Amino acid sequence: MARLRTGAAVRAATIKAAYTMKIVRNAEVMWREEDEARAQAYEGLSRGDDVSEVGTSILFSDGVMLSLNLLGTEIWKICDGKSIDRIVSELLPHFDADPDVLKKDTIRFIAELAQKGFIRYEE
Amino acid sequence: MKNETLLKAPLTINWAVTNRCNFKCRHCYSRTDPSEELSGTTLFACIEKIVKAGVLSINFGGGEPLLRKDLIEIAAFSSGKGLRVSMNSNGYLIDLGRAKSLKAAGFSKVGISLDSHVPDVHDGFRGIPGSHRKAVAALAYLRDAGIKTSISTVICKINHTAVQELIAFAEQHGVQQLNFHNFKCSGLGYSNKDELDLSPAEWKEFYLAAMKAKERVVEMEISLDDPIVASLGLNTNVKTLVKGSVCGKLSLNIKSNGDITPCGFIPIVTGNIVTDELREIWTNSPVLEKMRHKQPTGKCAACSDYAECLGGCSARALALTGDINNPDPHCWVP
């Protein structure tokens, strides 16, 4: 799952919101993909390697910097006002994962980003 | 020792667009720099280069950046290219009209230098009577114009025991961030270091007080930005992606003539943005390579905190010992 290097307990409220509200990237966050790392991750995937520790994007806001792995980056990129169900349905064709497990993991990831202020929820 | 993350390009460029200044600060590192300034046209081309390289933000400094008459145009061009634009200023030239112009040009944040909550102390340090009053007024104008503000305070003999007062002052003026900058021995900062710099014991005492305050204050970000804080042994529950100094790992400095240096306080030129490609320098510069792979020497070799602080501030080590691998002279560890 996405590698967040600043650990924090995920609160129930942010998880609940992720189930019910639209999920939006905080526009204040500066971010970019790291091309070489991304290529490296895809190469690893093609060999069947575990690439969960390869950071393929950098997020930076108010002095806090996060590195996301391939799956985390793909989730981040489609957080543009979609519901959690829509996000998971867009991820499924690209990742070999059980839908229920993917949804649960994605919600935990989004809730953690929300707790750090990188993600916002909208009605 | 290797840092775990090498980005494809700096996240931030600190760009000293001029060395000219209307102040006479006792610690200044740029006023004595005779480098020429790039023209606006050349700057635009260079800014396009850094955007192409993948840089996300640009922070204008100097000198006093507002002494460049084309700063608004430069900033508007930068923000128009998608860069997050900020600036460090002494605030003297910012009135409400100027603040609105800065907002229109895309400035998201402006840092104002304020070294004391006591006007006379600040004015004496900055060499200009009335500069404290103008700086405080600038904070209000910027806030009214919708620009985030921060206060930048250079910690030295004049203010190191006033942590609580400085924080209360910053809170009173509604800034988003308070930056406690450690004293650098560059330019006049080197010439005046015996008078202004703290002893290692004083640095430890300051950082203990500042870290304690940082835990307490939640509405305003307090930035310490000094790797030797790791030597306090405090559990902050914050893991950083980059250990040690961020210079050359997250950011680079560009001087008024386009010369690229790891930071504003390390006078080693790694290239020039007018003639060189940023990504080439970022990836292949031997100087940056050395900064990213520091080797512990002296007391650092046996220090249990080295993995976190990586010898502290490379600029200080270089300025006072001649080698970035030597222990940071501010370090209090025996």
B98 pLDDT above the threshold of 80? yes
For residue B334, pLDDT beyond 70: yes
Of A6, A37, A63, the CB nearest to B239: A6
Instruction: Report CB contact under 8 Å: A58, B11.
Output: yes
- Of A9-23, A78-92, B131-145, least confident by mean pLDDT is A9-23
**pLDDT surpasses 60 at B136:** yes
B235 touches chain A (CB under 8 A): no
**Does A90 contact B at CB distance below 8 Å?**
no
Q: Could you tell me if B269 lies within 8 Å of chain A, comparing CB atoms?
A: no
Cα–Cα distance, B65 to B38 (Å, whole number):
13
- Comparing alpha-carbon positions, the chain A residue that sits nearest to B239 is A6
Percent of the residues in chain B that have a pLDDT greater than 90, as a whole number: 80
Q: Which residues of A touch B223 (CB under 8 A)?
A: 63
Show the tokens assigned to B252: 């680079």
Nearest to B84 among A7, A30, A65 (CB): A30
Q: What is the DSSP string of A76-107?
A: HHT-EEE-HHHHHHHHGGGS---HHHHHHHHH
Q: For residue B317, give Cα distances in angstroms to B61, B224, B324.
A: 23, 18, 5
pLDDT of B174 strictly over 80: yes
Considering only alpha carbons, which residue of chain B is nearest residue A64?
A: B240
Confidence of residue B218 (pLDDT cuts 50, 70, 90): confident
CB distance from A35 to chain B under 8 Å? Answer: yes
What average pLDDT score do residues A46-63 get?
Answer: 90
Q: Is A62's Cβ below 8 Å from some Cβ in B?
A: yes
Cross-strand bridge partners of residue A67: A58
The shortest CB-CB distance from A63 to any of B54, B84, B221 is to B221
Helices marked H in B200-313: 200-216, 278-284, 286-292, 306-309
Q: Is the pLDDT of residue B276 over 90?
A: yes
Residues A26-44 have a mean pLDDT of 94
Q: What is the mean pLDDT of chain B?
A: 92
CB contact under 8 A, A62 and B177: yes
Cβ-count burial of B2 within 10 angstroms (0-12 exposed, 13-18 middle, 19+ buried)? exposed
Give the Cα separation of B233 and A73 in Å (integer): 33
The structure tokens listed for A14 are 């942010």
The distance of B41 to chain A (nearest Cα, Å) reads 27
Closest residue by Cα to residue B252 from B224, B280, B294: B280
- B235 pLDDT tier (thresholds 50, 70, 90): low
Percent of chain B with pLDDT over 70: 96
Residue A4 has pLDDT above 60, yes or no: no
In angstroms, what CA-CA distances link A26 with A81, A115, A118, B32, B225? 11, 12, 5, 42, 24
Q: What's the pLDDT band for A3 if we cut at 50, 70, 90? A: very low
Q: Which letter does DSSP use for residue B186 in this model?
A: S
Residue B220: closest CA among chain A residues belongs to which residue?
A62
- The pLDDT tens digits of the residues spanning B51-95 come to 999 999 999 998 999 999 999 999 999 999 999 999 999 999 999
> For residue B110, what pLDDT band results from cuts at 50, 70 and 90?
very high
Please write the tens of the pLDDT for every residue from B10-50. Answer: 999 999 999 998 888 777 776 667 779 999 999 999 999 99
Query: Where does the pLDDT of residue B3 fall: very low under 50, low under 70, confident under 90, or very high at 90 and above?
Result: very low
Residue B331 in tokens: 């370090």
| pLDDT at position B237 | 55
Cα separation values, B119 from A65, B134, B139, B143, Å: 35, 10, 15, 21
